[in-house]
Structure 1
Amino acid sequence: MEDILRPIYQERASQANTKGVLLVEKRQKALPTTDTFDAVLLIIVTEADEPVFIKHYTYMEKKAALYIITEQQLNEWLLIGTNKKVFDWIYNGKILFDRNEYMQTAKKELQEFPFHGRKLKMGLEFAKLIKRYMDGKAFFENKQYFDAYNHIVHSLHHLARLAVIDHGFHPENTVWNQVKQIEPEIMKLYEELVNSHEPLEKRLELLFLASEFLIHSRTKDGISHLIDILSEREHWTVQEILNHEELGLYAVDLTMLLEYLIDKHYVEVVNVETKGKGILHRYYKVGKKLS
C-alpha cells in the first residue's frame, strides 16, 4: 500500500506545516486497529482549520483511510485516551516522513511514559472509575440491577486501565490481556461478574464489596495529581477547579469525585458566607487526612 499512497503523502510532506507521516497496515482481522481498512495513513500537522480531517480511498479491492490531525488533537487523544487506536498507530506505524524527529520522539515518549503524564492519566481514569462505581451503586440500591451491571462492568474496565497505568504502561485496546498479566485479581473479578451462575443481584453484591477494597487501595495514587494541584491554594471554588488547565480535563467526572473524596475525608468543604441570609459559598480544600 505504501507505493499506492505515496503521491498522497508526498504532497503533504512537502508542506512546512507537516510534522510527520505514519503508515499503519492491517495485521489481524480480529483487531479493530484500522477499522477494517487495509491501511491508515496518519499525517500530523502543526495547525489546521479542523482538528481532524478524514478521507477514504479505494484502490482495486483494497481500501485506505487518511487522517490529517493537528498536533494538539494528537496530544489530547494520547492524554485523555478518547481514541485508543492512536496508541497502536504510534507504536506500530511505519514512519514515512519525520520532520525534526517529531514522530521518533512521540514513539519514545509513549514507550517511556513520562511520570507527570502518568499521574494525570491515573487521575482521569480514577475519576471515571468513581463516577461509574457510584452510579452503579445507586442503581443497585434502587434494585435496578441491569443498569447497575452496566456501570460495574465499566468501572472494572477503568480499574483495569488504572492498574496498567500504575505499572508504567499505556492501556491498549487489549487492556484485559494486559491486566491478566499485571493484576490477575481484577481479571478474576471481571470473570466472576460475567461468567458466574449466581443470581445477578448476588453477583453485584459481591462485586461491590470486592471493588470497594480495590478502589480504597488505589485511592492515594489515583488522586495524587488532583491533590498536588489543590494543595497549591488554600481553597477553590468548583469553577476555579474546572478552569484549571489540567483539572478541567476531569470534566463531568469531577463533581462525583469530589463528593467521594469528601466522604472519605481526602477533601474538605469550606463554607463561606454570602450576602444571602443562610446561603453559603461552598469551597474545597485538601483534607486533614492528607495534611
Structure 2
Amino acid sequence: MENIKAHVISDYRELPGLLAIAIIKNPYPYNPLIDGLDLLVLLVTEKRVEIERAEHVRLDHVRALVRTISQDELHLWITGGENRNIIEWLVRGEILLDRDGYLASVRERLLQFPESMREQKQFIEFNGFLRTYLQAKQDLLDGNMLDAYSNVLTALHHWAHIVLIEEGRHPELTVWKQLKRVHPGVYKLYEELTASPETLEQRVQLVMLACEFSVMSKMKSSCSILLNIMNSREEPWSIGELQSHPIITELQVELSLVVHKLVKRAYVREVAVMKDLKDTSALELRYMVANA
C-alpha cells in the first residue's frame, strides 16, 4: 500500500491547481462505495481542469478509480447530496497531500456538522420526503399497492435521515443501524412496513398515518432555510426568484411543491400581483412568510 501511495503522489502532485489528494480503500466486498473497485484516489483542484474526470488504473495489481473534482464541485456534492458517497470518502479517507490544509478543514467541518449544514440537508430530505409521501398517497388512492409500498419506503428513508440530522449525525454513514439506537420508534415502523404479517395495504396505511402526524409536524423546522430567505426582505418573492436564489441553486431542489404545502399549512402567505396593467385577469403568485 505504501508503494501505491508514493506512486499516486508522484503521478499527480504536479496536476495544475491541485489542492489535495485523498485515498480511500474499499473495506466492503460488495458495497459499491467506489463503484466496485478496490481503491479511490480523489484529486481536488482549485478550478475545473480539462482532463478525464474519472479514470480506471491498476497499481500493484490493485484496481483504482481516480476521480478529479474542483473545490466548487466538491462543495456542491457535500451540500446538495448529488453524490452521497462523498461524505464517507472524506471522513474515512487518508489525506496524502493537502496544500494549505484545505481538505483537513473540509473534513473537520463535516465532523462538526454545523447548524447551517444541518439546515441545508434537512431541507433537502424534507423535500424528498414530501414528494415520495404524496406520491404514495396517490398510489394508495389509485389502488397501485406495490407503487405505494415503494414510495412510502423511500419516504420512510427520508424521515430516518431527518431524524438523524436532528441528532447531529450524518445519514450518509449508515442509516438504520444508527436509527435503531437514536429513534427506535421510526425503526419499528420500518420493521412493520417490511416484515409485518399484516396485508401490504395495512402496512402502507400504518406508515402513511405515522408520516402524516409525525413528519408533517416537522415542516416548519425542516424548511427554516427557505423561510429565512423569504424573511430577508419585505417584498413577496416569485417562485422564480426563490428558485434562482444562490442558496437554493446550490441545494439543487425544486421548490414549487414545498412552497405550495407551506401555503396550505399557513406558514407562507400567497400574494397575487398584477403583472400587466392591460391584462387584469393574469395575476402572478408571490410568496412571503405569514405574520412576518
Q: TM-score, normalised by structure 1?
A: 0.92
Q: CA deviation at 1:28?
A: 2.6
Question: Matches of 2:249 and 2:52 in 1, distance apart?
Answer: 22
CA contact (8 A) 2:127 2:253 kept: no
Higher mean Cα deviation, 100-109 or 210-219? 210-219
Q: What are the Cα deviations for residues 202-246 of structure 1, in whole angstroms up to 9, with x where unaligned?
A: 211111111111113322220111111111123111100111011
CA contact (8 A) 1:58 1:64 kept: yes
The residue that corresponds to 2:244 in the other structure is: 243
Q: CA deviation at 1:59?
A: 4.1
Paired residue secondary structure (1:66): strand
CA contact (8 A) 2:91 2:107 kept: yes
**Structure 1 residues 27 and 252, CA, compared in 2 at 3 Å: closer, same or farther?**
closer
Higher mean Cα deviation, 275-284 or 129-138? 275-284
Question: Matches of 1:95 and 1:14 in 2, distance apart?
Answer: 16
Question: Matches of 1:67 and 1:179 in 2, distance apart?
Answer: 31
CA contact (8 A) 2:40 2:66 kept: yes
Q: CA deviation at 1:51?
A: 9.3
Q: Is 1:264 aligned with 2:259?
A: no
CA contact (8 A) 2:136 2:152 kept: yes
Q: Is 1:280 aligned with 2:279?
A: no
Question: Matches of 1:49 and 1:74 in 2, distance apart?
Answer: 14
Q: CA deviation at 1:11?
A: 3.3
The residue that corresponds to 2:182 in the other structure is: 182
CA contact (8 A) 1:128 1:253 kept: no
Q: How do residues 158-237 of structure 1 correspond to structure 2 at under 5 angstroms?
A: 158-233=158-233, 234-237=235-238
Paired residue secondary structure (1:168): coil
Q: CA deviation at 1:248?
A: 3.0
The residue identity in structure 1 corresponding to 2:193 is L
Q: How do residues 1-291 of structure 1 correspond to structure 2 at under 5 angstroms?
A: 1-15=1-15, 17-49=17-49, 53-59=53-59, 61-233=61-233, 234-249=235-250, 251=252, 253-275=254-276, 276-288=279-291, 291=292
Paired residue secondary structure (1:35): coil
Among the aligned pairs, what percent are the same residue? 29
**Structure 1 residues 229 and 46, CA, compared in 2 at 3 Å: closer, same or farther?**
same
CA contact (8 A) 1:84 1:173 kept: no
Q: CA deviation at 1:273?
A: 2.5
Length, aligned pairs only = 289
Q: TM-score, normalised by structure 2?
A: 0.92
**Structure 1 residues 111 and 174, CA, compared in 2 at 3 Å: closer, same or farther?**
same
The residue identity in structure 2 corresponding to 1:272 is V
Question: Matches of 1:89 and 1:265 in 2, distance apart?
Answer: 41
Q: What are the Cα deviations for residues 165-210 of structure 1, in whole angstroms up to 9, with x where unaligned?
A: 1111211252111222211111111111111222222211111111
Q: CA deviation at 1:109?
A: 0.6
The residue identity in structure 2 corresponding to 1:197 is P
Paired residue secondary structure (1:37): coil
Question: Matches of 1:125 and 1:79 in 2, distance apart?
Answer: 12
Q: What are the Cα deviations for residues 55-92 of structure 1, in whole angstroms up to 9, with x where unaligned?
A: 10124643111111111111111111121211111111
Q: CA deviation at 1:21?
A: 0.6
Question: What is the root-mean-square deviation in Å for CA atoms of aligned residues?
Answer: 1.9
Task: Please list every run of at least 4 consecutive aligned residues from structure 1 whose deviation after the TM superposition is greater than 4 angstroms.
Answer: 249-252
CA contact (8 A) 2:273 2:283 kept: yes
Paired residue secondary structure (2:246): coil
Q: What are the Cα deviations for residues 133-184 of structure 1, in whole angstroms up to 9, with x where unaligned?
A: 1121122122222222121111111111111111112112521112222111
For structure 2, the 5+ residue unaligned runs are none
